[in-house]
Amino acid sequence: MKQMLSNYREWLRLAVAVCLMAAALIGSGFIDVPYVPVGLLLVVLVNWIMFRSEKFDFSALGFDLNRRHLLLVPLGLLLGMLAYMLSYCLGAFIRGNELRVNTVVEWKEFFNQFWRVLPTAAVQDFLVVGYCYHKLIRLTNVKVATTVVGLVFVAMHDVWGASIANNLFYALGLFAGYLMLSTALIRSGSIWLVIGLHWGNNFTNSFVFTFKRSHTSWLYLSGPMEVFTNWQGIGLLVAFLLNSVSVIMLVRFFWRNRLLCYRY
């Protein structure tokens, strides 16, 4: 009975954290402070409060000013960018697209977008690999927690497009993306690597290597975007998943053991 009551309290604590995260996101919409990522600050604050309520601190996520951890940000940024570039080029080859170089890049806009993407990626990271993920691992196990939160990560994005096949295609890619983020946290022991990966990947696929020419793109595609054969569809799925799978393999190679501490 005592164990059941203890588990109930811990699940209730997780539910409170989820509600506070949601309140932080909703509340940030009513607070407009120029150049201040209010949503990120509120979500980080909720994470800190929940960790402190259990006598933990941010070292549980490797979120500190340790130089070894801070260096994971540029490492993750580079890995995220290179992984998407590999996926992008393979996808272009499968579709028969021509890669074109944008000779006129608006660098001011480029660097503006570079910094704007960071808080958007980081706030998602504290939502899906922060306290709630850490807590759910402790209440269940890594596999269950990763599956559940991975599905939540997919639901956080608008995956409903023109067809069921496209929806499943996109959802599968997002779930693989979450596996990349969760693997990075568990293996490296620091959310800094997750932030770097997410930042680099999101920035690159939105502003650097694009399907159509934009003011910030380095490369863009020319040619058909349609998939004409089943083999092309399978190939594009492989290319899409390569973005995440390549990073997972590298992370597991460099960090052979799990460094994240999630035991009571």
Taking only the tens place, the pLDDT of each residue in 212-221 is 999 999 999 9
3-state secondary structure of 210: strand
Confidence (pLDDT) at 18: 96
Q: Minimal CA–CA distance to 204: which of 41, 35, 76?
A: 76
Sheet with 98-101: strands ordered across = 98-101, 219-222, 209-210
Q: Minimal CA–CA distance to 227: which of 163, 171, 158?
A: 163
Strands 209-210 and 219-222, bridge-based pairing = parallel
Residue with tokens 């980080």: 44
d(CA 160, CA 219): 27
Confidence (pLDDT) at 226: 67
pLDDT by residue for the chain (264 residues), tens digit each?
445 445 888 999 999 999 999 999 999 989 988 888 999 999 999 999 999 999 999 999 999 999 999 999 999 999 999 999 999 999 889 888 899 999 999 999 999 999 999 999 999 999 999 999 999 999 999 999 999 999 999 999 887 766 777 788 888 999 999 999 999 999 999 999 999 999 999 999 999 999 999 999 999 998 766 666 777 778 888 888 999 999 999 999 999 877 776 654
Tokens of 89: 């080029």
- pLDDT, tens digit, for every residue of 188-240? 999 999 999 999 999 999 999 999 999 999 999 987 666 667 777 788 888 88
Provide the residue type at 88 as one letter. Answer: Y
Confidence (pLDDT) at 228: 65
Tokens of 204: 């690159």
What percent of the chain is predicted at pLDDT more than 70? 94
Cα three-residue angle 52-56-62, rounded to 5 degrees? 115
Q: Minimal CA–CA distance to 27: which of 35, 39, 16, 15?
A: 39
The string over 170-191, giving b where at least 16 C-beta atoms fall within 10 Å of a residue's C-beta and e elsewhere, is bbebbbbbbbbbbbbbbbbbbb
